[in-house]
Chain A
Amino acid sequence: MGVFILRRVGVMILTALCLTFVVFFLTNLYPALEKLAKTQGNQRMSDEAVVSYLERNGHLQPLLVKYGQWLGVVPGHVHENPETGAITARCATRGMDPSEAPRFCGLLQGDWGFSTVFKDDVSSIIATRLGLTGKLMFWVLVVMVPSALLIGVLAGMREGSRLDRSLSTFSIASTATPEYVSGVILITLLASSAGWKIFKGTATSAADNATLENFLLPVLTISLYGVGYIARMTRASMTEVMTAQYIRTARLKGVSFRNVVLKHALRNALIAPFTVIMLQFPWLLNGVVIVETLFNYKGFGWVLVQAAGNNDISLLLACSVVAVVVVLVTQLISDIGYVFLNPRIQIS
Chain B
Amino acid sequence: MEPLTWTGSLSVLDPIFLLAWAALGIAVVAQIVATFLAAEDIVEHEVSASTRKLAEYTVLGVKIIAGLILLLILVYVIGGILMPTMEAKGIVGTVSTRLLPVWIALLATFVVSIVFKRRLGLYGKLFDSMVGMIGFAIVMFWVFTAIFGAMDLIVTHDPLAQVSGMKNKVPGTALPDVEGAFPYYLLGGDNLARDVFSRVVKGAWEVVKVAPFATLFAFMVGITLGLPAAYFGGRLDTILSFVSNLILAFPVILLFYLLVTPEIVQTGIPVYMAAVLFIFPIIFMVILINSRFHVQPVKRSVYLVITLVLGLWVYSGVAWNADPLGVIEFPPNLLVVFVSVVFVNSPTVFRIVRGIALDIKTRDYVAAGQTRGEGPWYIMLWEILPNARGPLIVDFCLRIGYTTILLGTLGFFGLGLSPESPDWGSTINDGRKLLSVFPHPALAPAFSLMSLVLGLNLLADGLREESLRD
Contact = CB atoms under 8 A, between A and B. Distances in A.
B40 A309 contact: no
Contacts of A309: 257
A311 interface: yes
A336 interface: no
Highest count of chain A CB atoms <10 Å: which of B250, B267, B439: B439
B257 A308 contact: yes
B49 interface: no
A30 to B, nearest CB: 7
B458 to A, nearest CB: 7
Interface stretch (A56-64, A100-108, A189-197, A268-276): A189-197
Interface in A152-169: 158, 161-163, 166
A285 B254 CA distance: 10
B254 A323 contact: yes
A65 interface: no
B443 A184 contact: yes
Nearest to B28: A166
Interface string B412-440: 11000000000001001101100111011
Nearest to B257: A308
Interface size on B, as a range, is 35 or more
Interface in B402-419: 405, 408-409, 412-413
B224 interface: no
A308 B254 contact: yes
- Interface of A: prevailing SS: helix
A26 B269 CA distance: 9
A204 interface: no
B95 interface: no
Contacts of B178: none
B249 A194 contact: no
A15 interface: yes
Given A35-B263, A177-B450, A15 B249 contact: yes
B319 to A, nearest CB: 20
A184 B435 contact: yes
A239 to B, nearest CB: 13
A276 to B, nearest CB: 15
Interface size on A, as a range, is 35 or more
Nearest to B435: A187
A238 interface: no
A258 B44 CA distance: 8
B442 A304 contact: no
B192 interface: no
A282 interface: yes
A187 B431 CA distance: 12
A18 B246 contact: yes
A286 interface: yes
Interface stretch (B30-38, B75-83, B358-366): B30-38
Closest 7 pairs (CB-CB, A-B): A308-B257, A257-B43, A176-B454, A31-B263, A188-B439, A176-B453, A192-B436
28 contacts: A15-B242, A26-B258, A26-B269, A30-B267, A31-B264, A31-B266, A32-B261, A158-B39, A163-B32, A176-B453, A176-B457, A177-B454, A178-B449, A180-B412, A180-B429, A180-B432, A181-B449, A184-B428, A184-B435, A185-B447, A194-B440, A257-B40, A258-B43, A286-B253, A286-B409, A294-B432, A308-B254, A324-B250
Given A178-B405, A180-B429, 12 more contacts: A15-B249, A32-B261, A32-B263, A32-B264, A161-B39, A162-B59, A176-B450, A177-B450, A178-B453, A192-B436, A258-B40, A289-B253
Interface of A: 11, 15, 18-19, 23, 26-27, 29-32, 34-35, 158, 161-163, 166, 172-173, 175-178, 180-181, 184-185, 187-188, 191-195, 197, 201, 256-258, 282, 285-286, 289-290, 293-294, 304-305, 308-309, 311, 316, 319-320, 323-324, 327-328
